[in-house]
Every structure is written in structure tokens, then in C-alpha cells.
Amino acid sequence: MHNIIATLVMFLLGLLFIGVSLPLYYKKVKPNYFYGIVRNIYECDSDWYVKNKRGAKKVIVISSVICVISFIPLAIPEFSATTVVIWIVGSCTAIVISLLHTFITEWRTKRSL
């Protein structure tokens, strides 16, 4: 039962982050301070769209990998509750690291201009 829960939660988390990133990737979100992988730290709107598209692409790739590997627990017969928590926290950590890497990279690029 734990492996079904782990699979479902991870798959839905992956889909959630893909769903949040797609509008940024397709440049459907206007520059703002609340929604965007890289905050509005650029003077030019076109820079904001380019940076958010790049960041959204990273999140979509990692989230897609998480969706695919979310089915691994179904292949493991015994999956304890502790392993489920570690599995889910690890997936969320991968997404957060991707977001932080994007933000830091773009912030450094902005400072060097």
C-alpha cells in the first residue's frame, strides 16, 4: 500500500510542477513579483521572459524525470512508510535545487552585466 501512495504522490507532484512551469515556458505570464522562477530583476521584459523560459525548462525536465521514476516503488514489493517519506522529500529537494540553481545563475549573470 505504501508503494502505491508513494507513486501517486510523486507523480502528482511532478505534474503539479510541470503545470506551474508550462505558462512560464510559453511566455504566458507577464513580468511580476509573485509568479516566475526568476523574479523581476531585469529592466527589459524580454530578458524576464528568456530567463523564466530557461528556468521553466529545467523544472519541466526534472519534474518529468520525477514522474517517470515515480513508478519505481511499484516494482519494489516492500516499501516502508519511512522510505516513502524519504522518496517524496528527495523528489521535492531535487525540484527546489533546480529552482535555486536557476535563480543563483541568473542573479550572478545580472550582477556581472
pLDDT tens, residue by residue, 44-102: 777 788 888 888 888 898 889 888 888 887 887 777 778 778 877 887 887 788 778 77
CB 36, CB 52: distance < 8 Å: yes
Contact 91, 58 (CB under 8 A): no
Give the model's confidence band at 32: pLDDT under 50 very low, under 70 low, under 90 confident, else very high.
Answer: confident
Do 43 and 111 contact (CB within 8 A), yes or no? no
Q: What is the value of pTM for the model shown?
A: 0.76
